[in-house]
Amino acid sequence: MQKILLIGSGGSGKSTLARELGMRLGIDVYHLDALLWKPNWTPATRQEQISIQSELMERDSWIIDGNYGGTLDLRVDAADTIVFLDLPRTVCTYRVLKRMLKYRGKTRPDMGPDCEERFDPKFLKWVWGYPKSQRPDVLNRLQSVPAEKQVIMLDSQKQVRDFLTRVGKERRL
């Protein structure tokens, strides 16, 4: 595992898992939200997204967290390991609401500069609808990943903890 892609619904724990994996594996972590959102929630253009991600993917190792469906294929093709956090919508929605309260009026560590956390009903609706609107496309894309790539699907917090434990043990060997 040298080029790791983390995907999943908002609130599934991508950024948290990315940071933990980065520490355990000694691999640099890149949060797409921090790289692709400009101040005041201005999105990067598609060309900027491609350019930024292409530069990251040229590195020998990386952990990238984020969805960005329009450029997902680039990251899937470059990754050797894809981790799909497929947690229940209730867990993800709860976490997003908790995060909105915790960081309200502040910028999260995994977010672009001057993108202050705010109550965003549209984003909450997206998170709630993720299992029906996004998940089928993600699963379909993952089914076509070549066999030499490792695809890891985690659908509970226990599975996430167990995965981190395995990674920690493998690292020590």
Three-state SS for 150?
strand
Question: What pLDDT is attached to residue 171?
Answer: 65
Interval 84-98 mean pLDDT:
97
Strands (E), 69-131: 81-85
Type of residue at 169: K
Alpha-carbon distances of 52 from 56, 57, 59, 102, 159, rounded to whole Å? 7, 9, 12, 29, 31
Give the model's pLDDT for residue 152: 97
8 Å CB contact between 61 and 27: yes
What is the model's pLDDT at position 92? 97
Give the H or E element holding residue 133: helix 121-133
At residue 112, the pLDDT reads: 85
pLDDT at position 172, please?
A: 59
pLDDT(7) > 60? yes
pLDDT above 70 as % of the chain:
98
Query: Which tens digit of pLDDT belongs to each residue from 131-158?
Result: 999 999 999 999 999 999 999 999 999 9
| Residue range 34-76, pLDDT digits in tens | 999 999 999 999 999 999 999 999 999 999 999 998 899 999 9
Averaged pLDDT for residues 122-128: 96
Mean pLDDT, the chain, integer: 94
- Cβ-based neighbour number of residue 28 at 10 Å: 13
Q: Give the C-alpha separation, 61 to 79, whole Å.
A: 9
Is residue 95 very low, low, confident or very high in pLDDT (cuts 50, 70, 90)? very high
Domains of the chain: 3-156 (3.40.50.300)
pTM: 0.93
- Stretch 4-15: mean pLDDT, rounded? 97
For residue 83, the cross-strand partners are 6, 152
First-to-last CA distance in the chain? 14
